[in-house]
């Protein structure tokens, strides 16, 4: 059984014919094992995750600014 998935530090690829983005990830298992895989996303999912990540970056920046005051 898997415990979590991490994004690999490699570029994603985009297949224009299939209209899908592929992001390399690693699946981590509870027994300590790992397995490489790919997260396949539609254009709509890529846009949604881009918005969500932009929001997370803004929240992080706000939190960092608050600690420096």
pLDDT in tens, 4-57: 999 999 999 999 999 999 999 999 999 999 999 999 999 999 999 999 999 999
DSSP-based three-state secondary structure for 52:
helix
**Cα separations (Å) of 22 from 33, 57, 63, 68?**
22, 22, 31, 38
Backbone angles phi, psi at 66, to 5 degrees: -65, -30
**pTM attached to this predicted model:** 0.79
Q: How far is CA 7 from CA 15, 22, 39, 60, in A?
A: 19, 11, 9, 19
């Amino acid at each position: 059984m898997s415990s979590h998935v991490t994004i690999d530090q490699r570029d994603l690829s985009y297949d224009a014919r299939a209209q899908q983005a592929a992001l390399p990830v690693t699946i981590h298992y509870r027994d300590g094992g790992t397995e490489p895989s790919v997260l396949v996303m539609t254009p709509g999912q890529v846009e949604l995750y881009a918005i969500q990540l932009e929001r997370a970056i803004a929240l992080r920046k706000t939190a960092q600014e608050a600690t420096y005051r």
